[in-house]
Structure 1
Amino acid sequence: MNSSKSVLITGCSSGIGHHCAHALLGAGYRVIAAARKEKDVERLKEEGFEALQLDLDRSDSIDRAVERLHALTDGKLYAVFNNAAYGQPGAVEDLSREVLRRQFETNLFGTHELTVKLLPMMIKAKEGRIVQNSSVLGFAAMRYRGAYNASKFALEGLSDTLRLELEGTGVHVSIIEPGPIRSRFRANALKKFLENIDIEESRLSNLYEKKLKQLRSSEDAPFTLGPEAVAQALLHALESPSPKRRYRVTFPTHLFYWLKKILPDSMMDWMLRKVE
């Protein structure tokens, strides 16, 4: 049992975060589940979690969450699973500076700020785990996903650097790279697409009609797995004495990892253009 080990999970309202919170609770961890909306925080409490409100776009919310974590854990936090993120669809040419900034505020800047404010607790304890939920899109760029691609590429680079800098502290950094996972990711992306992309005025308006149909579809993409696949990787990252630097989850992630190693860029571009 791991009842003495406290783990913060962000983005627990649904999908991967919600499932992983339950999986870790079942494995004996003390789970502090974070969500952006108060109604989701209350629901998580009803499910038996210690829960707190956390909006990664706001430094004051991050500060309140860290203060609350200190009080809940007596300054002893074993791990954080940085799961909270969203995907902003749209061609790069249709992304305004503000829309791109908002994507980075949540997926990178907020995650970074939270992580560095939690680090002192782990360094003091001489043990800890930072687990970043990235994506196959954190190393393989695909069309009409530029904002999300960029945020996850950046997260991986920052995390690799952090791992090197934490050598000898007892704190490990791992990156999980899921491909298609059953969650609300597509529904949330559809909302951002409609909010932030001027579909009718775009040079790609005809293509966007196809993208809208895909985002509205209830059918799983090929090779989609359930969130339990991510939970399995997370548990290994938390419990192994030598956690992996990267956990590749789903067939597409493994496939594109090896294709990037063996194919020239021109051929890789051809392959990636085939992916919708």
Structure 2
Amino acid sequence: MTKTLLITGCSTGIGYAAAHDMRARGWHVFASCRQASDCDRLRGEGFDSPRIDYTDPDSIRSGLAEVLDATGGTLDALFNNGAHGLPGAVEDLPTDGLREIFETNFFGWHELTRQVIPVMRAQGHGRIVQNSSVLGLVSYPWRGAYAATKFALEGLTDTLRLELADTGIHVVLIEPGPVTSHIRQNSIPHFEKHIDWKASPIRARYEATLLKRLYHSSGPDTFELPPAAVSQKLAHALEARRPRPRYYVTTPTYIAGTLRRFLSTRAIDRILLRFR
């Protein structure tokens, strides 16, 4: 029997690659997107593509209902993936901007997950896979808002895994480092909406570092991998009899995990400040 998988954030990048790669492995993939136009494009590629916008609770309910109508009320797996960035110094980050990114990167994930859990409880099995980040393990200058959502996701997911341990529902984190995607370009509107960098006391640092990185691509990041690297770990998380609680993707994530195990916070800070 073909297994079913709902993936969010499938318009580009990790979600788009995962939808194609998991379909190639025989899964019936529901490739959801935030924008109706992207859903139409994916339907043209042969996918079922419900519209799910994490900031719109009605779309979460209707999108999941569309999936369950198609499957007869079951769902084998959920891959929470859609997210955006909001670069900028924490001192320049308005609280409204922080609320906005949490709606997309955290609260919407929680709402969809809560609606999926009763389905999986009733059928006695399921996989919930959360696409976190190396920035859920260690933080980095200019990435405070995004890191805050991923640190929150890590804690919530660890708790959920413990609470569902005897249900047949496996809860897994995937933690990519630099992976080819549009997240940097997609973060620009959020940066321009919320960060008044010209009035910042560290304006010179914006001009010397962050603005160049945002608006002038210098090619792939060091150690950057294609989205298929995440798909490989996702496949194991979904198909292994006993999936791991965490899957690292890219060298920087392995380094970050090692640093957290063996070094003090002060030592990690010294290392990270070399690359800001």
TM-score by length of 2: 0.97
Match of residue 136 from structure 1: 134
Does 2:269 align with 1:269? yes
Letter in 2 for 1:253: T
Please point out which of 6, 11, 20 is paired with 1:13: 11
Identity level (%): 48
- Give a deviation string over 1:190-233, Cα, whole Å, max 9, x none: 23212210010011211112211112214111000000110000
What SS does structure 2 have at the residue aligned with 1:35?
A: coil
Letter in 2 for 1:56: Y
Letter in 2 for 1:76: T
Matches within 5 A, 1:1-276: 4-209=2-207, 210-216=209-215, 217-276=217-276
Letter in 1 for 2:210: K
- Structure 1 CA distance for aligned equivalents of residues 53 and 265 of structure 2: 38
Preserved contact between residue 12 and residue 35 of structure 1 (Cα < 8 Å)? yes
Paired residue total: 274
Preserved contact between residue 223 and residue 252 of structure 1 (Cα < 8 Å)? yes
Preserved contact between residue 182 and residue 220 of structure 1 (Cα < 8 Å)? yes
- Structure 2 CA distance for aligned equivalents of residues 37 and 6 of structure 1: 22
Q: 5+ unaligned residues in a row in structure 2: which ranges?
A: none
Offset of residue 234 of structure 1 = 0.1
Preserved contact between residue 176 and residue 247 of structure 1 (Cα < 8 Å)? yes
- Structure 2 CA distance for aligned equivalents of residues 244 and 275 of structure 1: 31
- Structure 1 CA distance for aligned equivalents of residues 112 and 275 of structure 2: 34
What SS does structure 2 have at the residue aligned with 1:53?
A: coil
TM-score by length of 1: 0.97
Letter in 2 for 1:38: A
- Give a deviation string over 1:138-184, Cα, whole Å, max 9, x none: 01011110000100000010000000000111000000000000010
- Structure 2 CA distance for aligned equivalents of residues 271 and 26 of structure 1: 41
What SS does structure 2 have at the residue aligned with 1:256?
A: helix
- Structure 2 CA distance for aligned equivalents of residues 218 and 117 of structure 1: 41
Aligned structure 1 segments of 4 or more residues deviating by more than 6 angstroms: none
- Structure 1 CA distance for aligned equivalents of residues 139 and 231 of structure 2: 25
Preserved contact between residue 89 and residue 147 of structure 1 (Cα < 8 Å)? yes
- Structure 1 CA distance for aligned equivalents of residues 234 and 275 of structure 2: 27
Once superposed, what is the RMSD of the aligned Cα atoms?
0.9
- Structure 1 CA distance for aligned equivalents of residues 122 and 218 of structure 2: 47
- Structure 2 CA distance for aligned equivalents of residues 275 and 113 of structure 1: 36
Letter in 2 for 1:169: T
- Give a deviation string over 1:224-263, Cα, whole Å, max 9, x none: 0000110000000000011010000000000011012111
- Structure 2 CA distance for aligned equivalents of residues 203 and 5 of structure 1: 54
Offset of residue 125 of structure 1 = 1.1
